[in-house]
Structure 1
Amino acid sequence: MVTGTLTQPACREASSGLTETGDRRMAQNLYGPGVRMGNWNEDVYLEEELMKDFLEKRDKGELLIQRNRRLKEKLLRPMQLSISEDGYVHSGDKVMLMNLDHPETEADLFLRGDLSLCLTPDEIRAYLTDEFEVPCGLSAAPTKIPVGRNTFIILSADGEASGQVLRYGQSFRLGMTEGSEDKMLYLSSDHRTLLRSSKRSWLQEVYLTDEVSYLNCWQAAFPDPQLRLEYEGFPILANARVLISHCHTGRGLAVHRHLLLRTCFGKEAEVAAHTYLDSYRVERPRNHWVLVTGSPRKASPTMLDLPKPPAEDTCALEQAAHLGAQ
């Protein structure tokens, strides 16, 4: 019976073949420009050019991490809101547009909390240049701290002097300074077209532009439709719910909490111009906004952070009624 065996020369040949294969694999991992084999000179020059280009961009501040840092420093710079002494909103006041927390009945997954209207530039375009490319996008972020990207200035569309009380039904503009006081961006909107619409809902787009036109004009209305005509021409209370509608198209400013956008600041809700009505022809909470002013107390930046008085606190009223019953 003959069995398969390897002779001594064959064993040497097989072992040498395995050794050559292992050496070849080690050579693939160890060889580099420093070994000076093959096109080592070209690789050295290429690494030197890459390092030179990196240092040049770093000195000029053109690296992506440097642009990202400057972008966030510009948009997240702290701002001081105007303090209302008489309880009303005036032209020239710095305010925040806040959509208060409410449950979304049409979707299971949505963004909770108080959402403020914020400037959201295109991330790729912002990294290519230090200046914002207009028109700029908008979104609603879950923040109540006044910063550069969510602080708006109320401007009168009639050319009235700063300091006049803003009234229901009066046309006004909402402006935002883009890092400097010289350039102003205005909240604008226009009819939906095939080339321009909101990103997720495909409804009427809301954006910021530096052109002054009738597309920048907005109006505030009282939320209760039964008292809307009676409040026409009355001063607008600060930190109270209002409806903000576009003068040119008649659409109301709305927040889509169930439609999220990916921004350089995280996930935020989409903002569009559309009026949502319930079965009673009443605007839904999506269209409700609050013009938030500053707080005179140093501990709280806005009036929303102040505790409610006992007369308006429902929990305090329930506790008082329970104690009275006992």
Structure 2
Amino acid sequence: MGERTYNSSVLLHNWFEEIALDQDVLKDFINRKERGELLMQKLGSFKDDLLNKTELAKNADGHIHFGDQVLLINPGSDQNHPSDPLRAPMALTMNIDQSRFMTSKQVDSPCDVCGSANITPCVRNTFIITSVDGSCKGDPLRYGQNFTLRTLEGVTGQLFLTSDMQLFLKFAKKSRMQLVNLIDQLSFLSCWQVLYLDPQMRLEYDGYPVPANIKVLINHARTNQALAVFQKHSFWTMFGREHEITTHTFFDPHRAEEDLNHWIIVTGDPGVPHGTLFQRPPPICEDPEPKKEPSQEYPDCINQK
């Protein structure tokens, strides 16, 4: 009594059905793996597409032009502050939602943005300076002039960097400030302006061409708030830990914008493939000639006396 009369080796009834189903699942897995249709394979290929290196604009005149491919890098902080620890440079970057990856083979709208420590030019962090006032491609971008930041063609879907006023159901997840994201529709909410860094000289530089690779402010035309990156508000993405981007102007006691709002529009290094002028090492200065020690002898006029 109690002895088992059937087991998995009998291959009858439910035991045979379970073994057949397991074999079908294994065969289907092997076939999908050979065709590259597994979710892990698709996600890995998608990540590789986003991390493909890009070439930035290399302008001889040193200015930013419409149609240029650029990076937006926050240079970080040079010294420690009680409320803001030492920060490394971070680039404005697309933040892809993995849950929406299966429905499309390219980035869908809306798409979040974040600050990434990866400042190497790639598809994910490269933007195109686009005109909204009829300026031709190749014309210099000027201080105070409206423009848009657009992602590249292809997998990134040509989305526009957009922000809007803080609403009850529309705000940044961590800081609860203005939301910044990427959408596929061009509107006034996608217009930005480059402002001179020094507030006392800002009006004097209005209308002048914007130089590349210097600190500037990226101001939102609709809300008159500056683009900012948060070090203390971070989260995990498919590319690691990254930081929140918002639109809010932070002032120091002298009513000047803090380094959270400082950005550098980075262009390419002509001498390095896929390189940037931001990453170019500083030139090595040769030691100057040693100063000659003053002669301890008296002048001839004194000796003659």
Q: Do Structure 1 and Structure 2 share a fold, with TM-score over 0.5?
A: yes
2-structure distance, mates of 1:224, 1:320: 33
Q: Which amino acid in structure 1 is aligned with residue 49 of structure 2?
A: K
Q: Which amino acid in structure 2 is aligned with residue 195 of structure 1?
A: L
Q: 2:203 aligns with which of 222, 229, 242?
A: 229
Secondary structure, counterpart of 2:234 in structure 1: strand
**5 Å matches for 1:72-221?**
72-102=47-77, 103=79, 105=81, 112-179=87-154, 183-221=157-195
Note the residue ranges of structure 1 that are not aligned, 5 or more in a row. Answer: 1-19, 311-315
Give the superposition deviation at 1:111: 7.7
Give the superposition deviation at 1:145: 1.1
**2:243 aligned with 1:269:** yes
Conserved? CA contact 2:58–2:267, under 8 Å = yes
- Would the alpha carbon gap of residues 64 and 223 (structure 1) be closer, same or farther in structure 2, given more than 3 Å must change? same
Q: 1:47 aligns with which of 4, 7, 22?
A: 22
Post-superposition CA distance 1:134-185 (Å, at most 9, x none): 111111111221000011100111021100010000000111125359x411
Note the residue ranges of structure 2 that are not aligned, 5 or more in a row. Answer: 294-305
Q: Which amino acid in structure 2 is aligned with residue 105 of structure 1?
A: H
Give the superposition deviation at 1:300: 7.0
Match of 1:298 in 2: 272
Give the superposition deviation at 1:257: 1.1
Give the superposition deviation at 1:193: 1.6
Q: Which amino acid in structure 1 is aligned with residue 95 of structure 2?
A: T
1-structure distance, mates of 2:281, 2:15: 71
Secondary structure, counterpart of 1:295 in structure 2: coil
Q: 1:62 aligns with which of 20, 32, 37?
A: 37
Conserved? CA contact 1:188–1:206, under 8 Å = yes
1-structure distance, mates of 2:264, 2:145: 17
Secondary structure, counterpart of 1:230 in structure 2: helix
Which has a greater percent of helix? Answer: 1
Select between 301-310 and 271-280 the one with higher mean Cα deviation. Answer: 301-310
TM-score by length of 2: 0.86
1-structure distance, mates of 2:108, 2:15: 44
Conserved? CA contact 1:81–1:293, under 8 Å = yes
Match of 1:313 in 2: none
State the aligned residue count: 290
Give the superposition deviation at 1:301: 0.5
- Would the alpha carbon gap of residues 117 and 111 (structure 1) be closer, same or farther in structure 2, given more than 3 Å must change? farther
Q: 1:242 aligns with which of 205, 216, 234?
A: 216
TM-score by length of 1: 0.80
Post-superposition CA distance 1:269-301 (Å, at most 9, x none): 111111111111110000000000001102670
Q: 1:278 aligns with which of 252, 261, 266?
A: 252
2-structure distance, mates of 1:91, 1:136: 23
**2:287 aligned with 1:287:** no
2-structure distance, mates of 1:32, 1:146: 61
Q: Which amino acid in structure 2 is aligned with residue 251 of structure 1?
A: Q
Give the superposition deviation at 1:68: 1.2
Q: Which amino acid in structure 2 is aligned with residue 301 of structure 1?
A: G
Q: Which amino acid in structure 2 is aligned with residue 77 of structure 1?
A: N
Root-mean-square deviation (CA, aligned residues, Å) is 2.8
Give the superposition deviation at 1:53: 3.8
Q: Which amino acid in structure 2 is aligned with residue 216 of structure 1?
A: S
Quick check: which has more Rg, 1 or 2? 1
1-structure distance, mates of 2:155, 2:102: 19
**5 Å matches for 1:10-29?**
none
Conserved? CA contact 1:300–1:306, under 8 Å = no
- Would the alpha carbon gap of residues 324 and 289 (structure 1) be closer, same or farther in structure 2, given more than 3 Å must change? farther
Secondary structure, counterpart of 2:179 in structure 1: strand
Post-superposition CA distance 1:47-78 (Å, at most 9, x none): 13322442454355432211211211221011
Q: Runs of 4+ in structure 1 displaced over 4 angstroms?
A: 34-38, 323-326
Post-superposition CA distance 1:26-56 (Å, at most 9, x none): x9xxx97446477312211321332244245
